[in-house]
Amino acid sequence: MGTELTTREYAELLAFIKNRIRAAQYQALKAVNSELIELCWDIGALIVERQKGDTWGKSVVEKLSQDLQREFPGIKGFSPSGLWRMKMFYQTYRDKPKLAPLVREIGWTHNIIIMEKCKDDAEREFYLRMTARCGWSKTALIEQIESRAYEKSLLSQTNFSGTLPEPLRDQAKLTVKPQYIFDFLDLGEEHTESEIKQALAQRLERFLSEMGGLFTFVGSRYPLKVSDREFFIDLLLYHRLLRCLVAIDLNVGEFQPEFVGRMQFYLAALNDLVRLPEENPSIGIILCKSKDKTIVEYALRDSTKPIGVAEYRVSAKLPRELEGQLPGPEQIGRLLETP
């Protein structure tokens, strides 16, 4: 007669089986999704092929839609507009060998959103890759597009590619905007560091919303005791999706290279003294009133800790002037391919 499992052994067995079931469900879902995308691709290709020379047009697609819906009443997507989307889907990606494999990695609804809301191939590639890597829901994808995550990712300055493991770096890049708007603080353009720190601490909900919505507040002037000295981090947050501490260093003036050294010190101390074993490496965000892009690049180049540098404003001016800094098509391509 075998011995009975202990409570811990049973819990481990149950957890293993549950994870195995979830993995099988995920693989099955991926297979179904891949087949669905192939189906939409093939239908789109057939419509394009049959329409060559304008031998048949809109009326045939409408009749085809009626017959397909009658034959397959439980399958959505065969409306006239659905069939035209399949045609557009095929036409959009048929001559794009770089993008065509990517559309098979995400759902049909996500593909439609990206195809219809993005203006060029580089932007589509960004959202295709990020949706596959980050597992964005339909709502999250729309929010990312409407908040101009693509443009912001090109303008933001971080060293995450060389300092974070691959599963984290893409999502981490999205946590650092090129510019934050703190117009809810009721401060003039001239203000001291203590004034803005106090104002942010008093309006935490608005501040966390502007930071991106996935942050929780840990503390302001967070103390770090190293040897017999005490140091204070301006603001300490926790990012729920990245599962890591995020140190905010706030400066009312222009970015200075020495800010990076100070942040590296904070992150090293947080990782050793505060971070829990199951949490990911801490991240730093240096906020400045202004920054020189080249100086930031040099300051971050040899940094070994994950740090991002961004500007902040206390007025609600839209950062449209940043659009002139967008890189050209070739540079965009290189950025998107960077792991």
- pLDDT at residue 220 greater than cutoff 60: yes
Give domain status of residue 103, yes or no: yes
Give domain status of residue 328, yes or no: no
Give domain status of residue 333, yes or no: no
Give domain status of residue 281, yes or no: yes
Longest distance between any two alpha carbons in the chain, whole Å: 85
Angle between helices 121-134 and 108-117 (to 10 degrees): 150
CA distances from 122 to 41, 126, 281, 320 (A): 21, 6, 31, 20
| Residues 175-213 as b or e (16 or more Cβ within 10 Å = b) | bbbbbbbbebbebeeeeeeeebbebbeebeeebbebbbe
Phi (first) and psi of residue 272, to 5 degrees:
-85, -35
Mean pLDDT for the stretch of residues 55-81: 77
Give domain status of residue 185, yes or no: yes
Domain boundary among the residues 149, 182, 210 is at: 149
pLDDT of 339 reads 43
- pLDDT at residue 316 greater than cutoff 50: no
Which residue has 């009975």 as its token pair?
4
The closest alpha carbon to 236, from 251, 249, 227, belongs to 249
Give domain status of residue 330, yes or no: no
Mean pLDDT for the stretch of residues 97-106: 90
Name the percent of the chain lying above pLDDT 90. 30
Burial of 131 (0-12, 13-18, 19+ CB in 10 A): buried
Is the CB of residue 86 less than 8 Å from the CB of residue 40?
A: yes
- pLDDT at residue 328 greater than cutoff 70: no
Residues 53 and 166 in one domain: no
CA distance 200 to 194: 10
Q: Which sign does the torsion angle of CA 78, 82, 84, 90 carry?
A: negative
Q: State which of 125-139, 152-166, 288-302 shows the largest mean pLDDT.
A: 288-302
Q: Which sign does the torsion angle of CA 245, 186, 312, 241 carry?
A: positive
- pLDDT at residue 44 greater than cutoff 80: yes
Mean pLDDT for the stretch of residues 38-61: 77
* Parent domain of 199: 153-319
CA distance 59 to 148: 38
- pLDDT at residue 90 greater than cutoff 70: yes
Q: Which of 108-117, 160-169, 268-277 has the lowest mean pLDDT?
A: 160-169
- pTM summary value: 0.58
State the CATH number of the domain containing residue 296: 3.40.1350.10
pLDDT of 176 reads 79
Residues 124 and 254 in one domain: no
| Alpha-helical runs (H) found in the chain | 7-50, 58-71, 80-93, 100-103, 108-117, 121-134, 138-146, 149-155, 160-163, 166-175, 193-202, 204-211, 258-273, 293-301, 329-337
